[in-house]
Amino acid sequence: MKIKKFNCIQCGAPKINPYASPYIVCDFCGAFTDIDFEQGLDAWNKNPKRTQKYTEEKVNYETALAQLFGKGDKNNYLKTQFAYWDFYYQMYPEYLPPSIQTEEQYKLYIAICADSSTNAAFDEKWAEKARKQTELQQKISYHFEDGKTYADTDAFFEMNAFFIQNTKDSFQEFYTNPKYQIMHELLPPDVHLKMKLSMYVQAWIPYLRAIDVHRLLQQTGFSTEYIELQTVNGKNQSCTFCKEELFIPEGSYKILCEHCLKINTVQSFFNCISCGMKNEITESPAKPMNCISCGTENRLIKGWF
């Protein structure tokens, strides 16, 4: 059997377990490591009623935001942004990054999303870029062919190049802002960029010709490679949270339950390779750790590189 190729950006391990959500979590170190673009699309399309409800509410939020912006009411704009982000994740819990596991992390994350959206709207530099984006988007003409509407290739890719560069620039600014420091833990930049691009690509695909879809997926890094499914040794164990059965590959430290989307800790200690001392795993198991007794560097997840 062939599956999509994913290697963990933190520890390098391949994906072992089948997954049901669009976000791929490493079976060894528990890091949020990649996005399955097609699963994301399926999640979006699986419940048309939900999508309709979301689309209707979205209009209300956007209208309220436009009015508050017009009045220059930044305070209430921020509050509305918070409610809007919260509503989005209540509607689409499967889009919540799996690195957000507690209520406290959730509130922190939503607050940062709301704060950065507000600052981007009220900052002239980003507002100017947003206008340029809209302008490029309006330049795209649409052609009706074989019962489908297609966006003009050249104009689309001109807008696309601007969008990708602009997104990367805004990430650069966002992740170097000390106010958002915690985001490196909650949602690391690489995977965040993939998340953002995946949503954008998803929105455009219905309007593109097959050849343009291919080009877009290549540019955004969503073309997939397939590899043979590996079978590894391991054991079955029930999820600590929902009791669903999980397969835990040998050498795993943290694993996501695909049923309840909670991360289970498999091992929280390791024995030093040099002196045998029992050490607690305090950080990500993907990071090398120095033994508390002899100082030797231990690499917990290995053999996949």
Provide the total of helices (H) and of strands (E) in the chain, helices listed first. Answer: 9, 14
Taking the least distance from each CB to Zn ion, the nearer of 203 and 294 is: 294
Q: How far is the CB of 42 from Zn ion (least distance, A)?
A: 21
CB-CB contact of 97 with 183 (8 Å): no
135, 206, 242, 265: residue in contact with Zn ion (rule CB under 5 A): 242
Q: How far is the CB of 165 from Zn ion (least distance, A)?
A: 30
Taking the least distance from each CB to Zn ion, the nearer of 173 and 190 is: 190
Distance CA 223, CA 145 (A): 26
Q: Does 232 bind Zn ion (CB under 5 A)?
A: no
CB-CB contact of 98 with 32 (8 Å): yes
Q: How far is the CB of 229 from Zn ion (least distance, A)?
A: 18
Taking the least distance from each CB to Zn ion, the nearer of 31 and 183 is: 31
How many other C-beta atoms can be found within 10 angstroms of the C-beta atom of residue 197?
Answer: 21
Q: Does 290 bind Zn ion (CB under 5 A)?
A: no
Distance CA 56, CA 64 (A): 13
Segment near Zn ion (CB under 5 A); pick from 79-87, 89-97, 125-133, 264-272: 264-272
Q: How far is the CB of 271 from Zn ion (least distance, A)?
A: 8
78, 110, 159, 272: residue in contact with Zn ion (rule CB under 5 A): 272
16, 26, 100, 266: residue in contact with Zn ion (rule CB under 5 A): 26
What would the 3-class secondary structure string for 188-243 be? Answer: CHHHHHHHHHHHHHHHHHHHCCHHHHHHHHHHCCCCCCEEECCCCCEEEEECCCCC
Identify the burial level of 56 via C-beta atoms within 10 angstroms of its C-beta, where 0-12 means exposed, 13-18 middle and 19 or more buried. exposed
93, 294, 297, 304: residue in contact with Zn ion (rule CB under 5 A): 294
Taking the least distance from each CB to Zn ion, the nearer of 26 and 100 is: 26
78, 257, 266, 300: residue in contact with Zn ion (rule CB under 5 A): 257
Identify the burial level of 41 via C-beta atoms within 10 angstroms of its C-beta, where 0-12 means exposed, 13-18 middle and 19 or more buried. middle
Q: What is the token pair recorded at 281?
A: 């795993």
Q: Does 277 bind Zn ion (CB under 5 A)?
A: yes
Q: How far is the CB of 211 from Zn ion (least distance, A)?
A: 35
Taking the least distance from each CB to Zn ion, the nearer of 63 and 237 is: 237
CA dihedral over 142, 143, 149, 155, signed as positive or negative = negative
62, 148, 241, 290: residue in contact with Zn ion (rule CB under 5 A): 241
Q: How far is the CB of 171 from Zn ion (least distance, A)?
A: 22
Backbone phi, psi, residue 2, to 5°: -105, 140
Residues, the chain: 305
Taking the least distance from each CB to Zn ion, the nearer of 10 and 99 is: 10
Distance CA 278, CA 272 (A): 6
**Residues near Zn ion (CB under 5 A):** 8, 10-11, 13, 26, 28-29, 31, 239, 241-242, 244, 257, 259-260, 272, 274-275, 277, 291, 293-294, 296
